[in-house]
Structure 1
Amino acid sequence: MDMIVTPTPRLQGTIGALSSKNYTTRYLLVAALAEGTSTIHFPAHSEDSDAMRRCIQDLGATLVEDDQKAVITGFGSHPSDVKELNVGNAGAVLRFLMGIAALCPDVTFVNTYPDSLGKRPHDDLITALGQIGVEVEHENGRLPITIRGGQAKGGSIKVSGAVSSQYLSSLLFLTPMLKEDSEITVIDDLKSKVVIGQTLEVLEQAGIVIHASEDYMHFRIPGNQVYQAKTYTVQGDYPGSAAILAAASVTESDVTVERLPVKSKQGERAVVDVLQMMEVPLTHENDIVHIRGNGKLKAVEFDGDAATDAVLAMVAAAVFAEGTSRFYNVENLRYKECDRITDYLNELRKAGARVEEKQAEIIVHGRPEGVEGGVEINAHYDHRVIMALTIVGLRSKAPLRIKDAHHVAKSYPHFFDHMKTLGAKLEWV
């Protein structure tokens, strides 16, 4: 389905932030790896987190859920002998479970999104798994991928973090369960280090001991560890809320978003700091962000590596800022559901934005007067692109039609409902 975004001069109201997708997928996984029953309060519901729900049940976990919580009885270190797993279009779920599949005899991850996840490479994780005795069949590093496990042994592992931190997270979930101790050394570089901080936080809560160097480039993991059944509470989601906050910033607004912890390890929390740097009138106290927008913004320069999933929303805000903004160190945006640099900027240009790209940079020449709009744009099946283009539509002179906007459900199924609650003029077609 397509979404028509009609220019909307004012947003007003209060919403609660959706629950964090990143934390939900990690809590679901560690609960499944525990021996016993865990409870997760306020888990996120999105295509990604639902993919993790589906896969851990296929692997032998039981899950009972109501509106407030999920109760999971785990399979521990003995997942079921399942032949196929379907992660949908969820790259993080695929990569986390490629590690866990090393505990199974023979699992094939099927390719149901050939034009999106099916195009994304996983070579670095495949290479790392090979170092601990896991045989992997693949199509040039891409899906379908078959893991022949059961023989994994701890030891010395080298993994590249240059493309994604998810490969390292996958190994951190797996190696504590192996009989032998392990050492992981990150080579090349490590993108999105802040997300590794989230993985380590969740592992510690699950009773797992990992000795990490301060720069997250070297890890010592004792073997023979057992995940403990625990109770978890999922915090509000900054990546999704970044789009709401940016929308409030580019319009006349009086918008409050609740459940956004002031002290959070989510790197995308930086969206609050960036909007303040752009001189957006806002306060952030008691886990509540309150924006009284006047539609006036100043250009900004920002290192986007630690806040990858908020960059597109910040770029959308910068489209209307006075001056030239620069978002740098963002090459890993190219390896997401689509190329979030080239593909996204092409669509912004159609709408009338003045943008440039380099291999690892996005440069935005702001247009405080607004953009023309009045075009149909392709969101490339990417939830972050859909949300960011919606922000642009609010300040376009004519409506934008966003193709296949229903794919926003990958991370934020209620995004358009929340935007309508705040007064955005939106219509499904």
Structure 2
Amino acid sequence: MSHPDPRPLKAQAPAGPLTGRLGVPGDKSISHRALMFGALAVGTTEISGLLEGEDVLCTAAAMRALGAEVERLGPGSWRVSGRGVGGLVEPPDVLDMGNSGTAARLLLGLLAGHPVFAVLTGDASLRKRPMKRVTDPLSATGATFWTREGGRLPLAVRGAVDPLPLDYVLPVASAQVKSACLLAGLCAAGTTRVVEPERTRDHTENMLRHFGATVSVQDTAEGRVILLEGQPELVAAPVVVPGDPSSAAFPIVAALLVPGSRVVVENIGLNPLRTGLITTLREMGAALRVENERVAGGEPVGDIVAEYTELVGITVPPGRAPSMIDEYPVLAIAAAAARGTTRMQGLAELRVKESDRLAATFALLAANGIKAEIEGDDLIVHGTPGAIPGGGTVETHMDHRIAMAALVLGLATRAPVAVDDAAFIDTSFPGFTTLMNGLAGGTPIGPA
């Protein structure tokens, strides 16, 4: 995938409050998995609400290359005719995973269990991200991996002819590594056992059950133990993809920061392993409530109402990081507008995201006159409510969440905030600028 031309943007305080109801794009984690499980199932899976960002389109193309029939019927509406567990075929060309670490790591799990040869690559950002954390445990299935130095893409894999079930204790909490191991275990005879030290998002376990696999979970002294019975027949099942809570975070925080605002974000996934930001913002005093709670496709969903609030600084414990790892950049923006100091603890995982997201978030704050420090793996932000200077240009490092966080900041600063490149926002949140400007009834976000 070629690098899109840079798209500099800037954001300034809107003329009035943000108001309205909106939907955000479908959950990225669930969208990737819906396409992959559809490809592994027998029969035809109908998907609605699929995120049509570049990351997910890369997964759709990869499933097609591996032999599944993948068809777009309309906006967010897709159909996947699968090949059954173990039925994927060797791809004719290199698989380009774009900017998506989730897609690349989960796909390595899938490929480890199939006796095929494949080569994966991605954009410049993805080629810097570590894959050793999945290739090491997956090698125990009998799969072979060849990688660049540091375990990075492009890499080649030859999947196992008779994959062995894994028994793996995760060294750090990672839903991607856990999911890769479980996907490899689908093709192995016997029981695959994965132990995670802290609970991470469980969309893979939920979707495995939704498609008919036998998965059990036990909380033990060792950690959370997930057991998967290998070689199930997965049966096609419809998937309704809820709105992505990581995308909802941006209009929610914007509404909290712009005086007089009231915004309703509809149909958001409320999986308890993904709602750390909501918990944290409420601890900061945020006027947030959930309406119309229901269950769709095995996942809890609801509508989130956010109203302008004067926030206060808090300490965010390290144990919450797995449930909000993608939301720390925008939480740092909320912290900049809060009274007092906010300390976010245990952010080591942020150093290996699309960018070194911890350093990039700190730089974003510093460029706009916000006092902050990094101590070890903690980010400390000193808030200046109603008096955030702004005026800086933020380097996004090809990271969509850094770009969106900076633009939300610009809605609450004295001087506009610019970003060097917003082109990558489309990987997770197509139409972000139009949607935010719609809430403002104007164009506070526009070309820099």
Which band: TM-score by shorter chain? Answer: over 0.9
Q: Any unmatched runs of 5+ in structure 1? A: none
Post-superposition CA distance 1:258-314 (Å, at most 9, x none):
1125xx2153323223222222223322122222314x2111222341211122211
Query: Which residue of 2 is the match for residue 25 of structure 1?
Result: 32
Aligned mates of 1:68, 1:350 — CA distance in 2: 37
Query: Which residue of 2 is the match for residue 368 of structure 1?
Result: 385
SS in 1 for 2:141: coil
Tell me, yes or no, if the aligned pair for 1:154 and 1:223 is still in contact at 8 Å. Answer: no
Q: TM-score, normalised by structure 2?
A: 0.89
Q: Does 365-374 or 380-389 show the bigger shift?
A: 365-374
Post-superposition CA distance 1:332-369 (Å, at most 9, x none):
11110011111221121011111111232111111113
Note closer, same or farther for the CA distance 1:408–1:177 as it changes in structure 2 (3 Å cut).
same
Tell me, yes or no, if the aligned pair for 2:166 and 2:185 is still in contact at 8 Å. Answer: no
SS in 1 for 2:18: strand
Query: Which residue of 1 is the match for residue 266 of structure 2?
Result: 258
Q: Does 1:384 align with 2:401?
A: yes
Query: Which residue of 2 is the match for residue 62 of structure 1?
Result: 69
Identity fraction in percent:
26
Given the alignment, which residue of 84, 87, 101 partners 2:97?
A: 87
Q: Does 1:133 align with 2:147?
A: no
Given the alignment, which residue of 309, 312, 315 partners 1:298?
A: 312
Report 1:265-276 matches (<5 A): 265=271, 267-276=273-282
Query: Which residue of 2 is the match for residue 410 of structure 1?
Result: 427
Aligned mates of 1:135, 1:86 — CA distance in 2: 19
Tell me, yes or no, if the aligned pair for 1:3 and 1:426 is still in contact at 8 Å. Answer: yes
Tell me, yes or no, if the aligned pair for 1:194 and 1:266 is still in contact at 8 Å. Answer: no
Pairwise CA RMSD of aligned residues? Answer: 1.8
Tell me, yes or no, if the aligned pair for 2:138 and 2:184 is still in contact at 8 Å. Answer: no
SS in 2 for 1:268: coil
Tell me how far 1:156 sits from its aligned partner.
Answer: 4.1
SS in 2 for 1:422: helix
Q: Does 1:11 align with 2:11?
A: no
Report 1:76-225 matches (<5 A): 76=84, 77-82=86-91, 83-102=93-112, 103-110=114-121, 112-114=122-124, 116-139=125-148, 140-162=150-172, 164-178=174-188, 180-186=189-195, 189-190=197-198, 193-195=199-201, 197-214=202-219, 217-225=224-232
Tell me, yes or no, if the aligned pair for 1:238 and 1:266 is still in contact at 8 Å. Answer: no
Aligned mates of 1:378, 1:107 — CA distance in 2: 34
Q: TM-score, normalised by structure 1?
A: 0.93
Letter in 2 for 1:301: T
Tell me, yes or no, if the aligned pair for 1:124 and 1:159 is still in contact at 8 Å. Answer: no
Letter in 2 for 1:24: S
Aligned mates of 1:176, 1:281 — CA distance in 2: 44
Tell me, yes or no, if the aligned pair for 2:89 and 2:116 is still in contact at 8 Å. Answer: no
SS in 2 for 1:45: coil
Aligned mates of 2:117, 2:76 — CA distance in 1: 35
Tell me, yes or no, if the aligned pair for 1:177 and 1:226 is still in contact at 8 Å. Answer: no
Aligned mates of 2:243, 2:331 — CA distance in 1: 19
Q: Does 43-52 or 146-155 show the bigger shift?
A: 146-155
Note closer, same or farther for the CA distance 1:49–1:367 as it changes in structure 2 (3 Å cut).
same
Aligned mates of 1:302, 1:403 — CA distance in 2: 30
Aligned mates of 2:166, 2:207 — CA distance in 1: 23
Aligned mates of 2:139, 2:355 — CA distance in 1: 28
SS in 2 for 1:427: strand
Aligned mates of 2:156, 2:353 — CA distance in 1: 22
Aligned residues: 419
Tell me how far 1:150 sits from its aligned partner.
Answer: 3.7
Aligned mates of 1:48, 1:254 — CA distance in 2: 31
Tell me, yes or no, if the aligned pair for 1:183 and 1:220 is still in contact at 8 Å. Answer: yes
Letter in 2 for 1:23: I
Query: Which residue of 2 is the match for residue 228 of structure 1?
Result: 235
Query: Which residue of 1 is the match for residue 297 of structure 2?
Result: none
Q: Does 1:333 align with 2:353?
A: no
Note closer, same or farther for the CA distance 1:117–1:320 as it changes in structure 2 (3 Å cut).
same
Tell me how far 1:68 sits from its aligned partner.
Answer: 4.8
Tell me how far 1:56 sits from its aligned partner.
Answer: 0.5
Tell me how far 1:176 sits from its aligned partner.
Answer: 2.0
Aligned mates of 1:408, 1:370 — CA distance in 2: 27
Note closer, same or farther for the CA distance 1:161–1:71 as it changes in structure 2 (3 Å cut).
farther
Query: Which residue of 2 is the match for residue 279 of structure 1?
Result: 285
Post-superposition CA distance 1:3-58 (Å, at most 9, x none):
11112252122112321111111111100111211111111111221111111111
Tell me how far 1:152 sits from its aligned partner.
Answer: 4.2
